[in-house]
Amino acid sequence: MSRRKLDVARDAAKALAELPAKHFKPVVVKTLALTAEPFPHDSRPLHGHEGLLRIDSGECRIVYCVDDELVRIFVIGKRNDDEVYRLLDRKT
């Protein structure tokens, strides 16, 4: 099994850097794990956005897509509000 490369959008990297320490490590671990297993059991397709998936890590939601050799992280944000979807709508 080969690992995919990881591409993190600038806004997602900024959001990651601004996370409190309590949330930072679990989100980074979950994000890096996507390079080995891009379709974990708890990932779900993102309705209304063809080809995008979402995965949760604690209070955070990670929105990403998978290509043959690349996992692209589009948005990282709070899971319990619509922030993630507003950010995503601005990008698409």
Averaged confidence pLDDT in the chain? 89
Per-residue pLDDT band for 44 (boundaries 50, 70, 90) equals very high
Q: Does the pLDDT at position 82 exceed 80?
A: no
Going from the C-alpha of 24 to that of each of 19, 43, 46, the distances in angstroms are 5, 19, 23
Distance of CA 34 to the CA centre of its chain: 9
Query: pTM score > 0.85 for this model?
Result: yes
Q: Does the pLDDT at position 2 exceed 70?
A: yes
Bigger pLDDT: 28 vs 49: 28
DSSP state of 3: P
Going from the C-alpha of 91 to that of each of 42, 76, 84, the distances in angstroms are 24, 13, 11
Domain ranges of the chain: 5-91
CATH no., domain 5-91: 3.30.2310.20
Contact 77, 92 (CB under 8 A): no
